[in-house]
């Protein structure tokens, strides 16, 4: 395979934002719904989807989005890159691979976060779920990334940590790589039958830069 482009999910793949999301969700739940334990574990099972879609699935008020976004911005300095991600991106760019992000976050928030971390310029485009008609698991966001990167589905791969990533990639005709280094439900992700599985960013870099690309 001639891999010319890589489409990345953001949370759980590039950035370690799990603790921040838990705090933001808990505060938003308390502010809008009231006292009691926030059902973050259920929320976590739907990661990769657009926040309003998750609220609908969970039967929670859409009004939670405002405080969730506010707290996410406030807490964003606590978000960090996973170990090895900077080297992963640099290694792919040195090879001439074109990169994009297709995230469940809204586009402005995703771009702001990546700018804070100093890696926004690594990507040809960062696409949020608010910038497509149908967010993941529909193929729209991956198809838009492919169009922007000017590559055919067979020339790209999608890297994600959620079932929605795998389904979105597959619907777009793109092979999917599971990223296992974040707070993902590994059994559920494996059950989605990704094309390949990687456990560290370094392993992913080795997979994508092999000449020729010959995944195990």
* Of 101, 22, 13, 29, nearest in space to 63 by CA: 29
- 69-124 per-position pLDDT tens digit: 999 999 999 999 999 999 999 999 999 999 999 999 999 999 999 999 999 999 99
The residues facing 6 across adjacent strands are 99, 157
Q: Is the pLDDT of residue 194 over 80?
A: yes
The per-residue pLDDT for range 124-139, each reduced to its tens digit, is 999 999 999 999 999 9
Residue 216 has pLDDT above 50, yes or no: no
pLDDT score at 213 = 53
State residue 183's pLDDT score.
86
Q: Which is more confident, 115 or 186?
A: 115
Structure tokens at 95: 């090879």
What is the average pLDDT across 155-184? Answer: 96
Q: Look at residues 100, 110, 102, 41 and name the one whose alpha carbon lies nearest to residue 69.
A: 110
Average pLDDT value for residue range 7-18: 96
Residue-averaged pLDDT of the chain: 94
211 pLDDT more than 70: no
Q: Given a cut of 80, is residue 212 above it in pLDDT?
A: no
Name which residue leads in pLDDT, 216 or 204.
204
Q: How far is CA 214 from CA 3, 48, 211, in A?
A: 11, 28, 8
Predicted structure pTM score: 0.92
């Amino acid at each position: 395979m001639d891999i010319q482009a890589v489409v990345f999910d953001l949370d759980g793949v590039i950035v370690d934002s799990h603790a921040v999301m838990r705090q933001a969700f808990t505060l938003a739940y308390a502010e809008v719904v009231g006292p009691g334990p926030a059902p973050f574990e259920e929320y976590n099972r739907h990661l990769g989807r657009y926040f309003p879609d998750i609220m609908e699935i969970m039967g929670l008020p859409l009004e939670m989005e405002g405080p969730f976004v506010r707290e996410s911005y406030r807490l964003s300095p606590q978000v960090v890159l996973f170990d090895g991600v900077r080297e992963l991106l640099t290694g792919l760019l040195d090879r001439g691979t074109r990169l994009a992000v297709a995230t469940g976050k809204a586009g402005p928030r995703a771009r702001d976060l990546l700018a804070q971390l100093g890696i926004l310029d690594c990507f040809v485009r960062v696409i949020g779920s608010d910038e497509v008609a149908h967010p993941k698991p529909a193929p729209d966001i991956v198809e838009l990334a492919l169009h922007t990167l000017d590559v055919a589905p067979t020339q790209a791969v999608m890297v994600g940590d959620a079932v929605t990533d795998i389904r979105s990639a597959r619907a777009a005709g793109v092979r999917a790589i599971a990223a296992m280094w974040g707070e993902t439900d590994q059994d559920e992700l494996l059950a989605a039958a990704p094309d390949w599985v990687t456990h560290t960013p370094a392993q992913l870099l080795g997979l994508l830069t092999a000449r020729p690309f010959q995944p195990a």
